[in-house]
Each structure stands twice: as structure tokens, then as C-alpha cells.
Structure 1
Amino acid sequence: MTEFRAQECMGTVISVEIAAGGSAALLDEVFAWFDEVDARFSTFKDDSEVCRLDRGALALADASPDLRHVLSRCADLWSETDGYFDAYVTGRLDPSGFVKGWSAQVASDRLLAAGATDHCVNAGGDLRVRGHAAGGRPWRVGIRHPWEALATCHTVAGTDLAVATSGVYERGHHVIDPRRGRPAKGLRSVTVVGPDLGTADAYATAALAMGRAGLQWLAGLAGYACVVVTDEGRKLSTRALAPTG
């Protein structure tokens, strides 16, 4: 029997569908995890660990293992993206570009370990799917059309995928190019698909911050594929992300 739940958390809507091996209690555990992440990493809650660390009220040595892990991974991603993924780009600590995907990846890992081998975790459009959907079909993930909110511009399918999208269709060109200190332009939407959702989330953000230079950078990523829509409406995708129909 399929288990499904959706609720607001972390400033977005998170949904979890378990096609097999699930239970209401397991969903309770998953959403308790997301509440924990929100309390620890929110940049809008003064008592969150991120905010306390940012203003000097919390020493890094006293931070939770999760926060230390996230900061370490953000430092690695800064190097991997040549500085375009920068948790301090706004002048204050904000690891949100990694945390949402990372937390959904952790939730998926926990579901798998608990025996829920067929599931989809959707954190505000960043998805981690495993196994099969109801009826034994591969999961199909539609990528939102950058100009038509109710339409898709691309579809990918699989049984073990992390799919992260960073776009400007809701908030305009808001992703800062850290080298120029102003919003990057050139790309309307970047979707990255690969084995780890936190990494895919950060890569999508970094590519958007690069503008058109992100196209060449994405083409060289090992283990990750992408589909990009430019500001002019041109769609480009790597061979691994050829449309599935």
C-alpha cells in the first residue's frame, strides 16, 4: 500500500511517497528529521545553529556534527565549483543551497535503510527517487518549464536518481555571481541529475551563478548530467538526459 504525506517545512513544501515498505510511523520519522534540519539550519530563526554561529554566539567546536559536516562539504563545493558555490556570497552564512538537497538525500538514505526501497522524496522540486513507483514503473520526473508554471520542458525517468533544479522563474535573477557581486544572467534554469542530491543541488546553483560559462563547466562534470534553459529559451541537455517522452 502506498504511503504519502506532504507538508510545509523549511520554507517550502516537502512530500514523501513510499510505494512499498512504508508506514505512517516511518513518515513521522522522516518529517521529524526535516523539522530538525529546519530548526538547525534556518537563516530566519535567530536561535538556529546557523544564525548563532554566524553572529559568533556559537563556537564551531560546539556545533552539532551535522552542522560541521555541512560546513565542511560547503568548503569542498566551493573548491569544486571554482568559488561559484559560496555559502557566504551574501555576506553572511547561508548554506541553504546545499542543505535542502542534502537533507532530502539523508531522508532517502534512511528510508532505504529502513526497508522502504521504493520511494520518492520531493523537497520543493529537488527529488531523490529510488526503486519503482506504484505499479512497478520507473519514477518519472518532470522538469518545470521556465515560463509556464504548469508545464514541463523535459522529463527524466529512472530507479535511482537525484534531480535538483535551480531557476530564476519565481524570484528573478537572484543567484549572485560571487566574482562580480551581482545577480548572474544568461541561464533561466539549470537541472542537474546524479547520485547525490546535495551535490546536485549545489552544482545547479553554481552553474546558474556562472551564467553562460556554466554550460561548459556542466559538460565536464563526471557522474552528473544536466539540462539547461537559457534566458533566450534555448534548451540544452547532455546525452544522458535525452528526453524520455
Structure 2
Amino acid sequence: MSSLQGGHHRTAPQQDLRARHVHVEHVMGTVVSIDLRNCARKEAVSATRSVVRWLHEVDALFSTYRPDSAISRIVRGELTPGHASAEVAWVLERCEELRRDTDGYFDAWATGSLDPSALVKGWSVQRAADALEARDLTDFCLTAGGDVVSRGSRQDGLPWRIGIQHPGDRRALAGVVHAGSLAVATSGTYERGRHIVDPHTRSHPTGLLSVTVCGPDLGTADAYATAAFAMGRKAADWTLTLDGYEAMTVLDDERVLLTPGFPLADRAEESP
């Protein structure tokens, strides 16, 4: 048994109780990353489990690939929206609102069968972010495919750096957004191929490579990005009319068009 009297002793380094916690989950047909900063480990683990559980619940309700999901049952006529869960009813009502707001370019029935995925991913991640805020977590970033919600800062007051995937080069970025509290959604062909259809013609739109929309709510940004991409080259003018949301449109000739308030970082600002 050693004595603390005489001789030399070292104090064990104090454990950093408020550090970074990152979790990656495969759910909803994509990869979701949960990045928590300035958070006690116990709270971070608990919050992460809650987010993961919620996203799997969403997948079970809304997946178009699972025969037992509520959406699949509605498509088969086994369940009516009026008898579905509150979450399903809300999403379908919001889809209809967005269809009207986008002149029909956002349409959960665009492919001829019910598929609200273009809202569900963004909506569910936004709900997860709201739940984290309700737990008094202030600095985090949630990423699901091309959709991102950030809050607070990544470290020492520095903004989050959100990369926008280059639509023609998987190894490159089309740009970087500096964000505090922001939602960013991108629609294009790089994530799921040519999956977006113009509901008016039932054909794949042309003239665009990608559309990125940012604003306060990820579900709405996701739907607007989908609608804009479905419009083809008309998207650039339409995004100028959005209230509270900004957009970056990449045309098929690789020209990049920005709405006046789009928060694209200058090259000189893109260093870590």
C-alpha cells in the first residue's frame, strides 16, 4: 500500500465530461449521423438512443418497402388515413398543403402510388432535432443523406460547416454553408438516382443537376427542394418566391444560381 505522504504523486487527468459524441445509424434507406457537442456523455447516449428509436419508428410507419407499414397498408386499401396514427395523418395532411403551395410539383402521388418519403425524411429529422432541443441540448448536427439540421456551434462559437454534394462528382462539394441553427435539404440524382418525377407529365425533369434549399424547417425545405427539382429549369425563378427559404440551383450546364440570401461560404471562409 502506497502512502500519499512524501515522495511524488500525480493527479489523474480529469475526464472531459462535456465532449463530442457521434453515432451513425442505417435507417430509412440512408445513413443518419448524429453529432452532439458540449454534452455530458450520459445525456448524449440517452439522447442518441431516443433519436435512433424515433427514426426506426418512422421507418416502420412510412416505409414503402415494408409490407406491414401504414403507408403500404393504405396503398393496399387495408387502412384509411382517417384510421391511421396521428403522425401518419399529419404527414398526409401536410403533403396536401405542400402540393397546393407548390402548384402540384410536390405530390406524394407523383409516381402513381402513395409515397410521402420526400417529406418524411426531413420531417422526422426535424422532429428529432426539436426533441434534442427540448432536452436542453444546444450544439448538434443531424445528417440524413442530403438533409441536415444544425443547432448552435461545432466548437468555441464556430459555425457548423455543411457541405453540399457536387451533383457530378461524389468526391467533391458544390459548396459549403456556414450555419448555426439551420435546415438544409438537397434534391438531385446523386443519392437515389432518377427518382423524382414531374407530377404533371409523369416524366423525369430535365435541365437541373441539383437543388439545395435552406431555412428554418427541414421537412419544408426537403419538400421545396423536391418540388423545385421536379420543375426543371423553372426552379430557379420559383425559388425566388419562397418566403423564409433560400436556394442554390445547379443547372445541367453546371451554372450555379443562388437566391440573394443563400448562406454560401466564401472560399476564404471554408477552412476548418
In 1, Cα distance between equivalents of 2:122 and 2:224: 11
Match of 1:143 in 2: 164
Alpha carbons 2:178, 2:264 under 8 Å: kept = no
2:117 is equivalent to residue 96 of structure 1? yes
Shift of 1:243: 3.0
TM superposition shift of 1:174: 3.2
Offset at 1:212?
Answer: 0.6
Name the aligned partner's letter for residue 40 of structure 1: L
**3-state secondary structure, aligned to 2:149:** strand
The runs of 5 or more residues in structure 2 that have no matched partner are 1-18, 267-272
Shift in Å, 1:151? 1.1
Q: Quote the Cα distance in structure 2 between the aligned partners of 1:242 and 1:90.
A: 33
Matched with 2:84 is 63
RMSD: 1.1
Tell me what 1:6 maps to: 24
What is the match of residue 15 of structure 1?
33
197, 200, 212: which one pairs with 1:191? 212
Secondary structure of the equivalent of 2:106?
coil
Q: Deviations over 1:60-88 (max 9, x none)?
A: 22210000000000000000000000000
Comparing 219-228 with 166-175, greater Cα deviation is found at 166-175
Q: Rg: which structure is higher?
A: 2
Alpha-carbon distance in 2 for matches of 1:127, 1:225: 15
Instruction: Note if contact 2:145-2:191 (Cα within 8 Å) is conserved in structure 1.
Output: no
Code of the aligned partner of 2:55: F
- Give the corresponding residue for 1:218: 239
The equivalent residue for 1:235 is 256
SS in 2 for 1:212: helix
Write the letter of the residue equivalent to 2:161.
R
Q: Note if 1:83 corresponds to 2:109.
A: no
- 2:47 maps to amino acid: L
Cα distance in 2 for partners of 1:171, 1:202 equals 16
What is the Cα deviation at residue 170 of structure 1?
A: 4.6
**TM-score, normalised by the number of residues in structure 2:** 0.87
**Aligned with 1:243: secondary structure?**
coil
Where does residue 52 of structure 1 map in the other structure? 73
- The residue number in structure 2 matching 1:108 is 129
Structure 1 counterpart of 2:15 = none
Residue 121 of structure 1: aligned partner: 142
Structure 2: how far apart are the matches of 1:193 and 1:236? 14
Q: Is the 8 A contact 2:146 2:191 kept in 1?
A: no
Output the amino acid matched with 1:221. Answer: L
Q: What SS class does the counterpart of residue 132 from structure 1 fall into?
A: coil
Mapped contact 1:173–1:185 kept (Cα < 8 A): no
Query: Residues 70-110 of structure 1: CA distance to partner in whole angstroms, max 9, x if unpaired?
Result: 00000000000000000001111100000000000000000
> Structure 1: where are the runs of 5+ without partners?
none
Contact 1:174 1:184 in 2 (8 A): no
- Residue 133 of structure 1: CA displacement? 0.7
Matched residue of 1:61: which SS?
Answer: helix
TM-score normalized by structure 1?
0.97
- Measured against aligned partners, the alpha-carbon deviations of 1:119-140 in whole angstroms (never above 9, x if no partner) come to 1010112000011113331111
Distance 1:108 1:133 in 2: 15
Contact 2:185–2:212 (CA under 8 A) maintained in structure 1? yes
Distance in 2 (alpha carbons) for counterparts of 1:130 and 1:201: 18
Percentage of pairs with the same residue: 47
- The one-letter amino acid of 2:243's match is A
| Matched-pair contact (CA < 8 Å) for 1:2–1:134 | no
Matching residue within 166, 172, 189 for 1:168: 189
Taking the aligned partners of 2:29 and 2:207, their CA distance within structure 1 comes to 27
Determine whether 1:208 maps to 2:229: yes
SS at match of 1:240: coil
- 1:55 deviates by 1.1
